[in-house]
Chains A and B, each alone.
Chain A
C-alpha cells in the first residue's frame, strides 16, 4: 500500500515536472522564432534545450541528456552567441509589411505538417504507444550507450566522426582570413 502511495506520489511529481518542461520547451521554442533580436532567440534556445534535457531524463536517457547539455548548450549555442555578438546587432522586423503569400504558405505548410503528425500519433496512441513500466537499470547509462554505439552501431559512429571532421575542415576554410578571390 505504502509503495503504491509512493509510486503515485512519484507519478504526480513526474507529471508536474513534465508539464513544466513541456511548457518551457514549447514556450521557448515559440520565443526562438518570434524574438526580433537573434541574441534573444539564441538565449531562448538554451531554455528549450534545457527543458528537452529534462524530458530526456524523464525518459531515462541520462547520457543523452548530459550530452545534450554539454554539446548543444555548451558548444553549439555558445558558438551562436559568439557569432551573433561578432556580427553585431542587426535587428530585423520580421512581422512588418503584412502577410505575404510566403508567410501564408509557410504557416499553412507548417500547420499542415503539425496537424498530420498529431493525427498520425493520435491514430497510434490508443494502444501501441502505451509503454510498460520498467526498463533495465543500465538503460541510458554511459556504459550501455557506449556498448550499443561502439558495437552495434560502429559504422554510424565512424561516419559521424568523418562528418564532424569534414565540417571542422569546412569551418576552418570558411573562416580563414586568406582571401584568394576577392
Chain B
C-alpha cells in the first residue's frame, strides 16, 4: 500500500499548486458571483470574462511596496502571515480526494499523507494557524490590529470547540480519525450528511466562524476595525493573509465534503472530479451567504457560539454515541 517517497513529493507539489490556483480563481469567482447577485458584472477587464484578473492582482501585490509601521515588532510581524499561509496549505495534505491508483506498478494514494490522526491533525494545524492572526495583529502595535486579533482569538477559540464536537458524531459512525477510512465507510453506506444532519449544520456554522466569513466576519469588520488584524499589512504580506483565509475556506469545504458528503464517491467513477465539484458547491454556498446575510453583533456571536451551538453539538455527539451503542 505504501508509495515511494518521491511520488509523495511530486504529489505534494502538484496539490499545493492546484490549491494555490484554486485560491486565485476562488477570489475571482467570489467577486463574479457577488457581482451577479448584486446585479453588477464583477471584474471583466483583464482577459476574457476577467479570467486573468487573479494574475493581475498577484502582479499588483508583488510589486507593491511592503511597508510596515515603524513601531511594529519586526520578526513576528514578518513571520505571522507566513505561519498562517503555511498551516492553511499544510492542512490540505490530509484530505483524500481520490481512491488511489496503481500506475506502472507504482502505488499512488488518493491523499498526500495518510495518518491515523488525520482529523486531529487538521484541527491542530488550524489551531496553529490562529497564531498568525494573533501575532500579526499584536506585532503591528496598532489599536485596530490588537482589537481585531483579540476578536479573532476569542471567536476562533470559541467556535473551535463546537467544530470539533460536531465532527464527533462522524468519528463515532466512521470509527476512525483517519479521513480515507471515513470516506470509504460512507462510500459503502450513505453520506453522513443524512444521519449526522445536525452535526453538519453545527459544522457549517462553526466553519463560517472559523474562517471569519460573513455573517461571522467580525474580526475584519471594516466599519469598526478598518480591517482587523491585518490593518497594518500591505503588499504580499497582506496577500499571504488573504491566501491563508481562502485556503482555510477551501480546506474546510474539502473537509466538509470528506466528512459529510462521502468525499470523492459518486454515481460515476470519476473520483477527484466529484470531490472538486462537491467542494465547489460548498464554496458557492459560503459566497452566497456572504451576499445574503448581515453581520452579527459581537455579543450575539459569542452567545450563539456558547449557548446554542455548543450544547447542540454536545447533545448531538451524545445522542449519536447512544444510538450507535444501542444498534
Does a CB–CB distance below 8 Å link A and B in the complex? yes
Residues of A within 8 A of B (CB): 39, 43, 46, 62-63, 66-67, 69-70, 73-75, 78-79, 81-82, 85-86, 141-143
Q: What total of chain B residues lie within 8 Å of the partner, measured CB to CB?
A: 26
A62 touches B149 (CB 8 A): no
Name A74's closest neighbour in chain B (CB-CB).
B127
A142 touches B153 (CB 8 A): no
Query: In the docked arrangement, what's the CA distance between A63 and B126, Å?
Result: 17
A78 touches B157 (CB 8 A): yes
Query: In the docked arrangement, what's the CA distance between A46 and B132, Å?
Result: 12
Residue numbers in A under 8 Å from B153 (CB-CB)? 78, 81-82, 85
B116 touches A141 (CB 8 A): yes
Residues of B within 8 A of A (CB): 76, 115-117, 120-121, 123-124, 126-128, 130-131, 134-135, 138, 146, 149-150, 153-154, 156-157, 160, 176-177
Question: Separation in Å of the A174 CB from the closest CB of chain B?
Answer: 17
Residue numbers in B under 8 Å from A73 (CB-CB)? 124, 127-128, 131
B76 touches A85 (CB 8 A): no
Name A70's closest neighbour in chain B (CB-CB).
B124
Residue numbers in A under 8 Å from B157 (CB-CB)? 75, 78-79, 82
A43 touches B135 (CB 8 A): yes
Residue numbers in A under 8 Å from B117 (CB-CB)? 62-63, 66, 141-142
| B interface: dominant SS | helix
A142 touches B124 (CB 8 A): no
Residue numbers in B under 8 Å from A79 (CB-CB)? 157
With contacts A78-B157, A79-B157, A81-B138 taken as known, whether A63 is within 8 angstroms of B120 at the C-beta atoms is yes
Name B150's closest neighbour in chain A (CB-CB).
A85
Q: Could you list 11 A-B pairs, sorted by A, with CB under 8 Å?
A: A39-B138, A43-B76, A43-B135, A69-B127, A70-B124, A74-B124, A74-B126, A74-B130, A78-B130, A85-B146, A86-B150
A62 touches B115 (CB 8 A): yes
With contacts A43-B76, A62-B117 taken as known, whether A142 is within 8 angstroms of B177 at the C-beta atoms is yes
Query: In the docked arrangement, what's the CA distance between A57 and B165, Å?
Result: 25
Residue numbers in A under 8 Å from B160 (CB-CB)? 74-75
Residue numbers in B under 8 Å from A141 (CB-CB)? 116-117
B124 touches A69 (CB 8 A): yes
Name B128's closest neighbour in chain A (CB-CB).
A73
* Contact partner, B128, options A62, A74, A142, Cβ 8 Å: A74
Question: Separation in Å of the A144 CB from the closest CB of chain B?
Answer: 9
Query: In the docked arrangement, what's the CA distance between A140 and B128, Å?
Result: 22
Query: In the docked arrangement, what's the CA distance between A86 and B154, Å?
Result: 11
Residue numbers in A under 8 Å from B177 (CB-CB)? 142
Question: Separation in Å of the B116 CB from the closest CB of chain A?
Answer: 5
With contacts A63-B117, A75-B157 taken as known, whether A81 is within 8 angstroms of B134 at the C-beta atoms is yes
A85 touches B149 (CB 8 A): yes
Query: In the docked arrangement, what's the CA distance between A81 and B117, Å?
Result: 27
- Most chain A CB within 10 A, of B121, B131, B135, is at B131
Query: In the docked arrangement, what's the CA distance between A141 and B181, Å?
Result: 14
Question: Separation in Å of the B307 CB from the closest CB of chain A?
Answer: 13
Residue numbers in B under 8 Å from A86 (CB-CB)? 150
Residue numbers in A under 8 Å from B156 (CB-CB)? 78
Name B117's closest neighbour in chain A (CB-CB).
A66
Residue numbers in A under 8 Å from B120 (CB-CB)? 63, 66-67, 70, 142
B124 touches A78 (CB 8 A): no
With contacts A43-B76, A142-B116, A142-B120 taken as known, whether A82 is within 8 angstroms of B154 at the C-beta atoms is yes
Query: In the docked arrangement, what's the CA distance between A74 and B163, Å?
Result: 13
Question: Separation in Å of the B175 CB from the closest CB of chain A?
Answer: 8
B128 touches A69 (CB 8 A): yes
